[in-house]
């Protein structure tokens, strides 16, 4: 093998490795954006409930039934901590392993 052949092989490997890291970065960014969208959906449903009923709901189940909140429960874990009906609940969303 000549030096040129080795250089071409090394350059190809570097490009492929860079491509893999780029794709992984895009996947992480996409997952982060989806988690933010789920959190925003829960928050908006809670705010809508407060605007309509004058109190924040005490559970996610109520938001699902009364306000049509929907998200992939197999993929996202939502913690909804309602400590008072006049305070916006704390909402935490994490992405789990879920089914594809």
Any domain includes 10: yes
Any domain includes 9: yes
What pLDDT does residue 91 have? 96
What pLDDT does residue 18 have? 75
Determine which helix (DSSP H) or strand (DSSP E) holds 91, and give its type and residue range: strand 90-95
Count of the separate structural domains present in the chain: 1
Determine which helix (DSSP H) or strand (DSSP E) holds 90, and give its type and residue range: strand 90-95
What pLDDT does residue 44 have? 94
Any domain includes 74: yes
Residue 82 lies in domain = 3-95
pTM, rounded to two decimals: 0.68
Find how far residue 93's CA is from the centre of its chain: 7
Any domain includes 100: no
Any domain includes 29: yes
pLDDT tens series, the chain, 100 aa: 788 888 878 888 887 777 777 777 666 665 678 899 999 999 999 999 999 999 999 999 999 999 999 999 999 999 999 989 999 999 999 987 654 4
């Amino acid at each position: 093998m000549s030096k040129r052949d080795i250089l071409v092989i090394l350059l190809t490997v570097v490009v492929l490795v860079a491509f893999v890291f780029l794709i992984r970065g895009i996947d992480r960014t996409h997952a982060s954006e989806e988690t933010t969208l789920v959190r925003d959906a829960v928050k908006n449903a809670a705010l809508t409930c407060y605007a309509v009923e004058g109190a924040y709901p005490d559970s996610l189940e109520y938001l699902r039934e009364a306000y049509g909140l929907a998200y992939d429960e197999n993929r996202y874990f939502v913690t909804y901590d309602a400590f008072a009906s006049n305070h916006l609940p704390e909402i935490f969303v994490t992405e789990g392993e879920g089914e594809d």
